[in-house]
Amino acid sequence: MYTLADAAKLVRTEPRKIKRWLYGHVYTARHGATREHRVVSPLWSPQYDREELGEAVIGFQDLLELRVVKQFVLHGVPLPVVRRCLDTARDVFGRDHPLTSHRFVTDGSTIFADSLESEARAGEHDGELLDLHSRQYTFRSIIKDSLYAGIEYEDGRARRWYPQPRSRVVVVDPAFQFGHPMIEACGVPTATLYSSFLAEGQQKAAVARIFDVPVRHVEAAVRFEERLQQVA
């Protein structure tokens, strides 16, 4: 499970955006002197029920799906188009979290183009994105190899994620440590090593002795956690 604050750090976005995407929101539209309250529904239902647990927490599949949504929004894709992409991909792939399906990397281009055209016909946005070359470029800018680098799949579904794919030292795996980032070789959460690093006066060798791990693992945890702090 991930709190919205934890997810925001890992996805590198703001908690309020995640809350809107996953739980919807209400806004006021003005028509002259008239005001109208409009409800925007969630993009999808999170893996964990907020009412049952008493707080807003999400799952591993939600986390990875949010990374893709964030890239869509970052590139200026309207949320109605993102919503259509999700709906169509769910129908095509038969999965609740289709954007991180291995097939979306290849089949998603068609889904994205169809979603743009559908929203244009519905009059939801202007026609700039409808130029063939523009929309192909937009999709390639979003769904690039780096976005999916570090994700390992089983049966087409994301199974684990290496946030720093070049080193592959830190892993996010829902089967271990409740899905929180950890050093794969020793199974110690990066947050635990980092907290000990601060408590021990930033002495990496001391932390390594306490947890009986190589110093390089402490260094990797510190680098990773400091990077997360920069996002916060």
With 60 as the cut, is the pLDDT of residue 89 above it?
yes
Give the separation between CA 62 and CA 45, rounded to whole angstroms.
9
- Between strands 182-183 and 170-171, the pairing is antiparallel
Domain 167-232 class?
A: mainly alpha
Tokens describing residue 90: 């769910």
DSSP 178: G
Secondary structure (3-state) at 88: helix
Residue spans of the domains in the chain: they are 167-232
Average the pLDDT over 60-66 and give the result. 96
The helix (run of H) or strand (run of E) holding residue 171 is strand 170-171
Give the separation between CA 134 and CA 218, rounded to whole angstroms.
45
Average the pLDDT over 23-34 and give the result. 80
Give the separation between CA 105 and CA 151, rounded to whole angstroms.
12
Model confidence pLDDT, tens digit, residues 31-44: 777 878 888 899 99
Model confidence pLDDT, tens digit, residues 150-193: 999 988 889 999 999 888 999 999 999 999 999 999 999 999 99
What does the angle CA 12 – CA 15 – CA 20 come to, to the nearest 5 degrees? 115
Average the pLDDT over 72-86 and give the result. 88
With 50 as the cut, is the pLDDT of residue 130 above it?
no
Task: Tell me the sheet residues that pair with 63.
Answer: none
Give the separation between CA 31 and CA 121, rounded to whole angstroms.
23
Phi/psi of residue 44, each to 5°? -160, 170
Mean pLDDT for the chain overall: 87
Range scoring the smallest mean pLDDT among 13-27, 124-138, 211-225: 124-138
